[in-house]
Structure 1
Amino acid sequence: MLHIEWWHHPAYGYMSQLSAADFAWEHLRRDDEYRQDCQTLALASRQSAHQLESFAQRWGLLFPE
């Protein structure tokens, strides 16, 4: 994970305007474990419903039906 003081960086000023969901995504997409899980899932030739459900539950994700 990046270890910078983002709250002091001018490029991150927009963060204070984000919704809770958008802020959560900004955090999640920088998480090394999430990125590794995502890559593992993407590289699988087929994803089972169980794999997708486990991934979603682990990371607190909701997908539209």
Structure 2
Amino acid sequence: MTWTHVLAFGLGALWMLVVFVTASAMRSPRSGWVEESQLQMPRTWTEVQTESASRYYD
């Protein structure tokens, strides 16, 4: 495994963690900061992967 694979896997795990925390926070009353961050980051995982791929394999 190269460092790019490690980085991509790490970003994927981090993104899933963010999504999981966001989902559980949305179920709780204090979700103001979550909604704000969601508005700033309307990106999907496929977009992130596409960006990473184009950055590494140009």
User: TM-score, normalized by length of structure 1?
Assistant: 0.33
Point out the structure with max Rg over C-alpha. Answer: 1
TM-score (normalizing by structure 2): 0.36
Q: Which has the higher helix share?
A: 2
